[in-house]
Amino acid sequence: MIVVGGRALNPEELFEVDSDVPELTGAVLLHYFSGFMDAGSAGSTLVEHLLETHEHRVIARFDIDDLIDYRSRRPVMTYDTDRWQDYDAPELAVRLLHDAVGTPFLLLTGPEPDRRWEAVVAAVQTLIERWGVRLAVGAHGIPMGVPHTRELSVISHATRPELVTERFPLSRVQVPGNLSALLELRLGQAGHDAMGFAAYVPHYLAQSTYPAAALGLLTAVTDATDLVIGADALRAAAKLADAEVTRQVAESTEISEVVEALERQYDAYAESSSQNLLVPEGEPVPSADELGAEFERFLAELPRDP
As a whole number, mean pLDDT of residues 184-208 equals 96
pLDDT of residue 300: 53
pLDDT of residue 275: 46
pLDDT of residue 265: 87
Please spell the DSSP secondary structure of 181-214, one letter per residue: HHHHHHHHHTT--EEEEEEEEEGGGTTS--HHHH
pLDDT tier, 11 (very low <50, low <70, confident <90, very high otherwise): confident
pLDDT of residue 152: 94
Ordered alpha helix ranges (H), 202-271: 211-225, 232-250, 253-271
Model pTM score = 0.85
pLDDT of residue 296: 52
pLDDT of residue 281: 46
As a whole number, mean pLDDT of residues 122-142 equals 97
pLDDT tens for each residue of 14-59? 999 999 999 999 999 999 999 999 999 999 999 999 999 999 999 9
C-alpha distances out from residue 62 to 96, 109, 252, 276, Å? 15, 10, 48, 41
Helices (H) and strands (E) in the chain, counts: 7, 12
pLDDT of residue 268: 85
Give how far the C-alpha of residue 130 lies from the chain's centroid of Cα atoms, to the nearest Å: 25
Region of residue 24 (phi > 0: left; psi between -120 and 50: alpha; otherwise: beta): alpha
Q: 179 vs 5, which has greater pLDDT?
A: 179
Distance (Å, rounded) from C-alpha 294 to C-alpha 276? Answer: 24
Q: Are 114 and 61 in contact (CB under 8 A)?
A: no
Q: 221 vs 273, which has greater pLDDT?
A: 221
Q: In the predicted model, is pLDDT for residue 107 greater than 70?
A: yes
pLDDT of residue 174: 87
pLDDT tens for each residue of 227-268? 999 999 999 999 999 999 999 899 988 889 989 999 998 888
Distance (Å, rounded) from C-alpha 94 to C-alpha 2? Answer: 22
C-alpha distances out from residue 140 to 38, 187, 205, 209, Å? 5, 19, 14, 12
Distance (Å, rounded) from C-alpha 65 to C-alpha 82? Answer: 28
* CA-based nearest residue to 146, from 277, 39, 256: 277
